[in-house]
Structure 1
Amino acid sequence: MSPKLDQLTSWLKERKITEVECFISDLSGISRGKIAPTNKFIDEKGMRLPESVLLQTVTGDYVEDDIYYDLLDPADIDMVCRPDENAVFLVPWAVEPTAQVIHDTYDKMGNPIELSPRNILKKVLKLYADKGWQPIVAPEMEFYLTKRSDDPDYPLQAPIGRSGRPETGRQSFSIDAANEFDPLFEDVYDWCEAQELDLDTLIHEDGTAQMEINFRHGEALHLADQIIIFKRTMREAALKHNVAATFMAKPMTGEPGSAMHLHQSVIDKKTGKNIFSNDDGSMSELFLHHIGGLQKFIPELLPLFAPNVNSFRRFLPDTSAPVNVEWGEENRTVGLRVPDASPENRRVENRLPGADANPYIAIAASLLCGYIGMVEQLSPSPQVKGRGYERRNLRLPLTIEDALERMENCKTLEDYLGSKFISGYVAVKRAEHENFKRVISSWEREFLLFAV
């Protein structure tokens, strides 16, 4: 056993862990894996899963056979899943002492599986490492609390708070509105502390019972792991308090969507300095090229930030979400905001990813866009002063069909992420969209049933 696995074994034994939840992330961000007794986990040092889980849709279906067999072994073989000793977390809501361990995926020859979202992020981080750079990210996760409902056709409603009344109206940044759910968030913070998640602030967002949790800045892979764990933690805490938590991009009609804003900067690993600032404190050429890369390539890989048909509802007019990749200093009306910060903390905030995006994939995509901009020395457009919502330049694809076609035809992305990942991701999202188109919506029944 390697020293690192020895350390993991000691960690489990010291905490008297009796069960281990072993899992990986699929393309949609769903955790898939096995639950094992601790002794079995230690003996086997990992698990095996069918590689087909990486081509499973959010509905549990699979892509078409011709694509499936082109990307995977027709024998439906297993992949080898090995635990990452740096991605081990407690399960504080479990009755018995339980741990959850995120795994990496390999083929039988020991090569990283190309369809794995975690491996995609590792691939992008290696590009930076090879240049002597290290990305630093700080995610912001928006989500809604709602009443629990077992009827998917019934519109979601705001939950009942401590006052015994549902929230009404917009309560952006209201302390009292956030305090309506104090018992729930006390559990969230206690559980996140037990899991050593790097949470920062809690904010009541603009929507009815819409909240935002900010993470402290740190290493990209570790924070992507934490987002996966946080989403699960938030849902479990909500269930305990008889409400629901959803990270859908646009769960409620007439309310703002939920985003996963990504603050990103890059430091020089030798000097520890932020390469986005010159010695005199001004914006560096690398910073401007980073923004240029985000502007050029975000529209090419939008499905990695907006993965579902519901994701595109965030980009409708008058939804408080950015609809372009314009940039500006201290400007929340554009897709790429540069916060007012000291030179050592200079960063860009990508405001386009939805809360429903897979964090490994969204962070990888955002960092990759900036990386290409730096190595290809791409120049950004002039920054926007004032309101940016109505800007017609640098617009995004309007539908997931258009976005998938654009992504599929981007040769640059294929060169960096691999044709297998691009083909697999597009195939999964197309399969999900075909499934969606078969469902008759309440809007169609309400307005077309007796009118046409």
Structure 2
Amino acid sequence: MSIDIIQRLRQSGTDKIKFAVADIDGVLRGKVISMNKFLKAVQNGIGFCNVVFGWDMDDACYTNGDVSGWHTGYPDAFASIDLHTYRTIPWQNNIPFFLADFSHAPEVQAACARTLLKKVKQACEDAGFKAVFSKEYEWFNFTETPQTLSDKHYTNPQPLTPGMFGYSLLRTSQNDAFYYDLFNLLKAFNVPLEGLHTETGNGVYEAAIEYADILEAADRALLFKTAVKEIAYRHGYMASFMAKWNHALPGCSGHIHQHLEDASGHNIFREESDVDGISETMRHYIAGQLYCLPFIMPMYAPTVNSYKRFVEGAWAATTVSWGIENRTTALRVINQVPAATRLETRVPGADTNAYLSMAASLASGLYGIKHKLALELAPVKGSAYDIKALQRLPAGLQQATLIMKNSHIAADLFGEAFTDHFIRTREWECQQFEKAVTNWELKRYFEII
């Protein structure tokens, strides 16, 4: 396949390609390089300043890092271009595009989210399973550009459409060129959607990406977010995957759908003889996710803003809980179609790094299978918001990071090197927020206090 792709590129006459790597926050960092440079990179790797693992999403360099930092002198780390990720970008004259990672760069691989997912995937396959995953995203669209929003100091962005109008045919018809560009261009970009519709909230859309092998599913999820933003730019809009941009509106989720298959492709989460149609393996998998959830929350909710989404009655889970076809719980078992029996992990927001949230879901599920954890927690019937006895999810990033740091669970699931790096980055994120003076503080204290 690799030889075929290179031959196709040579025959196409293209003189350049685009490639990208994902940083710890799931932000794509990339370059356009010449065809000659690309061919050399396929053989030898390509240098990328290790600062991509030494700064935050605002390009501020960590002062608490170990993998990367001023103490390293910021040398190049060599990324490996994955030829299996080949696609073309239809809204950019079909320029060839590839993803890369640092799985062959020992000095930084502990900080590479895609490398972590590849390791968890391998552990799954070593256990005799194939992980099949997909992401669904909610996001808000605005009639803004980066410049207009900057000029307004990021206040009062104008939503694309008004009103709470989920599953609306009318609202999408107002901006049908953008709406159908999303569906059609994403398919041409090899990020095919199962569905696309409006959700509850001003200018909010939801998309479900087609199922795939877990690594391909995560690649698609990362590319989906950047692609949606770029397509929105072409129409003069902005797309935001912020978890909670307005306290009066629902947040944006990034739910994960998943099941495991055996070597013959059989869905091993299904068991017809069970009263709920779910297998013992699935029960262990659910138990593993529930057990690990409080200790790995920053993998699902990585920003200060993430925790503003966890509000009772706002379609986001607030407890360690599960249920059959229950959208108020952290884990929702979907069992109505036997072949499609699966688990939906509803905790992650749209702001997550898909490599990390999927790695967390699979690794914690496998933990339950490996240790044969019993699913002792009863499924929630009715609203989980009304059951006060359920364990609450951490209330903020600082608390969640401290719980993660003080537990062995994350290191058991992801290794000590990755866990140490990731915790440092979340501590940094908390520190940046602590220094900020917010509009809320100005409004509350400027005159009155």
- 1:115 aligned to 2:108? no
Aligned to 1:256: 250
State the alpha-carbon separation in 1 of the partners of residues 278 and 67 from structure 2.
49
Aligned to 2:162: 168
- 1:231 aligned to 2:229? no
State the alpha-carbon separation in 2 of the partners of residues 384 and 315 from structure 1.
18
State the alpha-carbon separation in 2 of the partners of residues 213 and 262 from structure 1.
12
Q: What is the 5 A alignment of 1:217-366?
A: 217-269=211-263, 271-278=264-271, 280=273, 282-366=277-361
State the alpha-carbon separation in 1 of the partners of residues 90 and 97 from structure 2.
10
State the alpha-carbon separation in 1 of the partners of residues 283 and 86 from structure 2.
37
Q: What is the 5 A alignment of 1:55-66?
A: 55-65=54-64
Q: 2:120 aligns with which of 109, 118, 124?
A: 124
Aligned to 1:444: 441
Aligned to 1:384: 380
Deviation of 1:391 (Å): 2.7
State the alpha-carbon separation in 2 of the partners of residues 397 and 214 from structure 1.
27
Q: Is the 8 A contact 2:319 2:392 kept in 1?
A: yes
Aligned to 2:208: 214
State the alpha-carbon separation in 2 of the partners of residues 257 and 14 from structure 1.
47
Deviation of 1:318 (Å): 3.7
Query: What letter corresponds to residue 121 of structure 1 in structure 2?
Result: L
**Cα distance, 1:254–1:108 mapped onto 2, change above 3 Å:** closer
Query: What letter corresponds to residue 58 of structure 1 in structure 2?
Result: M
Deviation of 1:327 (Å): 0.7
**Cα distance, 1:73–1:119 mapped onto 2, change above 3 Å:** farther
Deviation of 1:329 (Å): 0.7
Deviation of 1:112 (Å): 8.0
Aligned to 1:180: 174
Instruction: State the Cα deviation string for residues 220-271 of structure 1 (Å, max 9, x = none).
Output: 10011111211111111111111110111112231100011111110112x3
More deviation, 315-324/73-82: 73-82
**Cα distance, 1:80–1:379 mapped onto 2, change above 3 Å:** same
Q: Is the 8 A contact 1:112 1:119 kept in 2?
A: no
- 1:195 aligned to 2:186? no
Q: Is the 8 A contact 2:142 2:239 kept in 1?
A: yes
Instruction: State the Cα deviation string for residues 23-75 of structure 1 (Å, max 9, x = none).
Output: 2101001112322012221133241113331232111122225x436999734
State the alpha-carbon separation in 2 of the partners of residues 55 and 423 from structure 1.
14
Instruction: State the Cα deviation string for residues 71-120 of structure 1 (Å, max 9, x = none).
Output: 9973433222111111112122225x4122101214557x8812110011
Aligned to 2:129: 133
Q: Is the 8 A contact 1:156 1:252 kept in 2?
A: no
State the alpha-carbon separation in 1 of the partners of residues 40 and 333 from structure 2.
49
Identity %: 27
State the alpha-carbon separation in 2 of the partners of residues 69 and 339 from structure 1.
40
**Cα distance, 1:411–1:113 mapped onto 2, change above 3 Å:** same
Deviation of 1:437 (Å): 2.1
State the alpha-carbon separation in 2 of the partners of residues 180 and 118 from structure 1.
38
State the alpha-carbon separation in 2 of the partners of residues 82 and 33 from structure 1.
13
Q: What is the 5 A alignment of 1:76-91?
A: 76-91=74-89
Deviation of 1:140 (Å): 0.6
**Cα distance, 1:403–1:221 mapped onto 2, change above 3 Å:** same
Q: 1:412 aligns with which of 387, 399, 409?
A: 409
Q: 1:400 aligns with which of 394, 397, 400?
A: 397
SS at match of 1:298: helix
RMSD: 2.0
TM-score, scaled relative to structure 2: 0.92
Aligned to 1:162: none
Q: Is the 8 A contact 2:53 2:67 kept in 1?
A: no
- 1:50 aligned to 2:40? no
Instruction: State the Cα deviation string for residues 364-408 of structure 1 (Å, max 9, x = none).
Output: 101111111111111220000111123331211001001001111
SS at match of 2:236: coil
Deviation of 1:155 (Å): 2.4
State the alpha-carbon separation in 2 of the partners of residues 444 and 13 from structure 1.
58
Aligned residues: 438
Q: 1:22 aligns with which of 19, 30, 39?
A: 19
SS at match of 1:76: coil
State the alpha-carbon separation in 1 of the partners of residues 292 and 105 from structure 2.
34
Query: What letter corresponds to residue 154 of structure 1 in structure 2?
Result: T
SS at match of 1:13: helix
**Cα distance, 1:79–1:73 mapped onto 2, change above 3 Å:** farther
More deviation, 41-50/397-406: 41-50
Q: Is the 8 A contact 1:141 1:259 kept in 2?
A: yes
Q: What is the 5 A alignment of 1:62-73?
A: 62-65=61-64, 67-68=65-66
State the alpha-carbon separation in 1 of the partners of residues 196 and 142 from structure 2.
17
Q: Is the 8 A contact 1:145 1:244 kept in 2?
A: yes
Aligned to 1:163: none
State the alpha-carbon separation in 2 of the partners of residues 134 and 126 from structure 1.
9
Deviation of 1:279 (Å): 5.2
Aligned to 2:153: 152
Deviation of 1:341 (Å): 2.4
Aligned to 1:164: none
TM-score, scaled relative to structure 1: 0.92
More deviation, 112-121/13-22: 13-22
**Cα distance, 1:218–1:128 mapped onto 2, change above 3 Å:** same
